Amino acid sequence: MRPWKLLGLAGLAGVAATGAVLARNERQRRAYTPDDVRTRLHERHAGLTEAPEPAAPPEPKPGRLHRVTRLLRRR
């Protein structure tokens, strides 16, 4: 019976530790002012707009698949 008690206590300790970590993260998240959040969002958006455009996919080799893709592109 003793191993089950130890396992139960370890589970309770894990739940308590997880709750403490989540509470700490929530406090840190709420510590931002609206101006801080707006500034960070503008910085992230500027970083995303500066990313290069992805290259065009290569053309498929001639064959049956090539004919099918050509037909699909016409629509």
For Cα atoms 53, 45, 38, give the angle at the middle one, nearest 5 degrees.
175
Query: Is 72 within a domain?
Result: no
Query: Is 19 within a domain?
Result: yes
Query: Is 43 within a domain?
Result: yes
Query: Is 27 within a domain?
Result: yes
Q: What is the pTM (predicted TM-score) of this model?
A: 0.39
Query: Is 31 within a domain?
Result: yes
Contacts of 66 (CB under 8 A, 6+ apart): 60
Query: Is 61 within a domain?
Result: no
Residue 13 sits in which domain range?
1-48
Number of domains in the chain: 1
Can you give the pLDDT of all 75 residues of the chain as single tens digits?
A: 788 888 899 999 999 999 999 999 888 888 888 899 899 999 999 888 776 677 777 665 666 666 777 777 765
Length of the chain equals 75
Query: Is 29 within a domain?
Result: yes
